Structures are given as structure tokens and as C-alpha cells.
Amino acid sequence: MAPTEATILSTFLLPPAHLPAIISLQAFTDLFPRSQQSSPQVKALYRDLQHQRARIVDAVTHNIASEVQRGNTQQRAVVRERRKAETEEQDDEVDIEYALFGPSSNLDAPKSHSLTSILPELELAASQVEEEIRRLEDEAETLLGEIHATVGGLSDIRYGRLANSNLPEQVVDGLERLEASCRAT
């Protein structure tokens, strides 16, 4: 059986949720300096942290229940809309009659688009997609050119042909300054 939304959320959000499952009082006390470990405030702090953690766990549990309920409501709405869409079959002949003769008393209410109104919009959308494709191809060519230039520059470094002949000295000077600043701090 497939896991439900509630079991998935509970499995991944709650365990180990309670503070003693994460860190014991002794381990929590060991985190403090030795002079403070015997203080009763450490135990009070642990109890307060435990209480806050329990409140958070309760809130998460409540939120999981709310989310499951909201998911069930959404699922019912989707099923309802699917059933409604199945009962309302699309009739192309009615659309054509409406486009040719206009509204009549025995036809359904007009849809948002007719055959004549959708064609220009589809053509516009197709031209916009084609333009976007052209723009992306131009961008890809530009990026490819930049990549080739970078690879060429790296190839020059590999074979020792540098455009800046002072680069090795500049790199050594920069490294020496970095070393000096590291030693100073």
C-alpha cells in the first residue's frame, strides 16, 4: 500500500522530535563549562528547551493534520471538476454553428474563443515561440564563442604562451603579499 500524505509528513518531520531522543540531560550538561555544569539553571534551561520543543512538535502535528485535510479537500475538488468535464462533452458542431449563425436559443452559452478568434492568437503564439527559439539560439552561439575563447586562453597557459609576459612575476608577488598578510594576523 502506498504511503499517505500524513505518514510521509509525520515520518520526515517528527521523529526524533522529542528532546531526550536528540540529546540527553547529561550530554546537554556536558556542553557547559565545568564550573556551570552543576548549576540548577542548566537543568531549568534543558526543561525549558524540552517544553519549547514539545510545543513545536504539537504545532507541526497540527499543521500536518491541517495539510492532510486541505489535500483531501483539493482532491475532492479535482474529482468533482473531472466528473463535470466528462459530463460536458465538447461538441465541435455546436461551435461551428455558433460561428456561422450566431447564438440561438438551443445552443449553449458561447465559449471564450471561436474558430475564427483562436487562429490569430495561435499564429501570434507560434511566432513568439519561434522568436524565443531564435533568441535562445543566438544566446547559445554567444556562450559557445565565449567558451571557445576561454578554452583557447587556458590552452595558451598550458603551453606557456601568455599574453601578459609579466604575469608569472605578478602572481608570485600576489602570493607573497598574501603570505605576509596571513603571517601578520
**In this predicted structure, what is the pLDDT of residue 21?**
81
Contact 110, 103 (CB under 8 A): yes
Output the CA–CA distances (angstroms, integers) from residue 72 to 14, 58, 67, 107, 125, in the order listed.
Answer: 21, 21, 9, 36, 36
Output the CA–CA distances (angstroms, integers) from residue 23 to 31, 32, 51, 83, 157, in the order listed.
Answer: 11, 14, 14, 52, 54
Cα–Cα distance measured from residue 163 to residue 33, given in angstroms and rounded to the nearest whole number: 59
Contact 5, 68 (CB under 8 A): yes
**In this predicted structure, what is the pLDDT of residue 107?**
47
**In this predicted structure, what is the pLDDT of residue 148?**
85
Contact 103, 37 (CB under 8 A): no
**In this predicted structure, what is the pLDDT of residue 47?**
92
**In this predicted structure, what is the pLDDT of residue 90?**
62
Please list the ranges in the chain whose pLDDT falls under 50: 105, 107, 110
Give the closest residue to 65 by CA, choosing from 7, 1, 2, 3: 7
